[in-house]
């Protein structure tokens, strides 16, 4: 009977921790600027920010704004892993894409080895699109859960 009570007590103590989850976002930015002039990186923030510190509430009666300085939002501690650009002087470089895939795979494998689970991936392309189209990035956000 004592063992059953002790076991029940241990299970009840562990239940609140089952719901607690932490998320982490890692972003890859790959240049789609022609001639290899852009910069490509994997970015991983090494510090946390509380979004509530930079959030304001807008209502009809009251336009209270958060008075925090935008510079306080910046993260100064982050990892930056170099990637290769999609283009060089000869055009698109498939070897560069394969090399980036290998580095991103290595990052994902490292994160999962450290207890993180990849749960979402979101990608987008930003390009000027005008004549000459001299600017653009391919951005991917990897969202992990622990």
On whether the CB atoms of residues 66 and 56 are closer than 8 A, the answer is: yes
On whether the CB atoms of residues 39 and 100 are closer than 8 A, the answer is: no
Q: Looking at the 3D structure of the chain, how many domains does it have?
A: 1
Closest CA to 113 of 146, 81, 79: 146
70 domain residue, yes or no: yes
Closest CA to 41 of 3, 78, 4, 76: 78
* One pLDDT digit (tens) per residue for the chain, 146 residues: 666 565 665 555 665 556 689 999 999 999 887 766 788 999 999 999 888 888 888 887 765 555 567 778 888 899 999 999 888 777 788 999 999 999 999 999 999 999 999 999 999 988 766 676 667 888 999 999 99
Domain extent for 124: 21-145
33 domain residue, yes or no: yes
Please state the pTM of the whole predicted model.
0.76
């Amino acid at each position: 009977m004592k063992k059953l009570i002790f076991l029940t007590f241990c299970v009840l103590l562990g239940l609140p921790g089952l719901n607690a989850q932490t998320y982490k976002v890692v972003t890859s930015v790959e240049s789609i600027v022609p001639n290899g002039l852009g910069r490509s990186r994997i970015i991983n923030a090494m510090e946390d920010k509380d979004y509530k510190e930079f959030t304001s509430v807008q209502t009809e009666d009251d336009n209270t704004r958060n008075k925090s300085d935008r510079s306080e939002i910046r993260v100064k501690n982050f990892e930056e892993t170099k990637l290769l650009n999609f283009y060089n002087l000869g055009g698109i470089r498939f070897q560069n894409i394969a090399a980036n895939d290998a580095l991103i795979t290595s990052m994902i494998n490292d994160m999962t080895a450290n207890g993180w689970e990849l749960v979402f991936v979101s990608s987008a392309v930003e390009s000027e699109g005008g004549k000459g189209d001299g600017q653009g990035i391919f951005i991917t956000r990897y969202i992990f859960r622990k």
